[in-house]
Copies of this chain bind each other. A is one copy, B any other.
Amino acid sequence: MKIYGDTKSGNCLKVKWVCDKLALPYSWVDIDTLSARPAPCSFSSSTARGRLPTVELDDGRALAESNAIIRYLARGSDLIPIDAFAAAKMDEWLFWEQYSHEPYVAVCRFQMAYLGKPASDLDPDKVKRGYAALARMEHQLASTRFLVGDIISLADVSLLAYTRLAHEGGFHLDGYAAVRRWIGETEKSLGLPPAR
């Protein structure tokens, strides 16, 4: 299996982390989205139509959308709860991540870290919604160890991607003790060095 990804992108790293955690073999094809260098033909012409991340299975079939990819790769593993309702709560977090967290926390981080925008020039509405997302996580993590109960799941992998880099988008986690505790525990569980 090939993973087409950019290591600057949390969405891409989610896929790498799941493969590493589950010891799934893969080769990483690095696509630098900020570079003028053209992407390899095998990627541009794939059925995923140039979206990142994309995985290409050994038989050539392609799958895009980070959370759909990790849900597929982790099927049958401990990263997806066996209980149907717990799995549904995991899905709730996965959809919420793409709709209510990533468009604010990740976008602010991209604008500051890669486009060089100062924090004072960020869209105040995006900043406000980013903090609202962090507050929702804090509310949950104040009462459970991970996002879906006491065992790590794909919800944690997915939300970790940009939450651990929130400071690069100008977000201060000082008032989010449970989120900070959870970042450390999730990084450790995935064998990652601390992001800061």
Assess whether A94 is in contact with B68, with CB atoms less than 8 Å apart.
yes
Q: Is A92 an interface residue (CB 8 A)?
A: yes
Q: Which residue of B lies closest to A57 (CB)?
A: B85
Which residues on the B side are within 8 Å of A102 (C-beta)?
99
Size of the A side of the interface (Cβ < 8 Å), in residues, is 28
Q: Is A111 an interface residue (CB 8 A)?
A: no
Which residues on the B side are within 8 Å of A67 (C-beta)?
91, 95
Assess whether A72 is in contact with B88, with CB atoms less than 8 Å apart.
yes
Question: C-beta contact mask, A131-168 vs B, less than 8 Å → 1, else 0?
Answer: 00000100000000000000000000000000000000
Stretch of A32-40, A58-66, A183-191 contacting B (4+ beta carbons < 8 Å): A58-66
Assess whether A89 is in contact with B63, with CB atoms less than 8 Å apart.
yes
Q: Is A96 an interface residue (CB 8 A)?
A: yes
Given known contacts A98-B98, A99-B98, is B75 in contact with A92 (CB within 8 Å)? no
What's the minimum C-beta distance from A157 to chain B, rounded to whole angstroms? 15
A-B contact pairs, 21 of them (CB 8 A): A49-B136, A63-B92, A64-B92, A65-B91, A65-B92, A65-B95, A68-B89, A68-B91, A68-B94, A68-B95, A69-B88, A71-B88, A72-B85, A72-B87, A72-B88, A72-B91, A75-B84, A95-B95, A98-B98, A99-B102, A99-B103
Q: A64-B92, A72-B88, A75-B84 are in contact. List 10 more A-B contacts (CB 8 A).
A: A49-B136, A57-B85, A64-B96, A68-B89, A68-B91, A68-B95, A71-B91, A98-B98, A99-B99, A99-B103
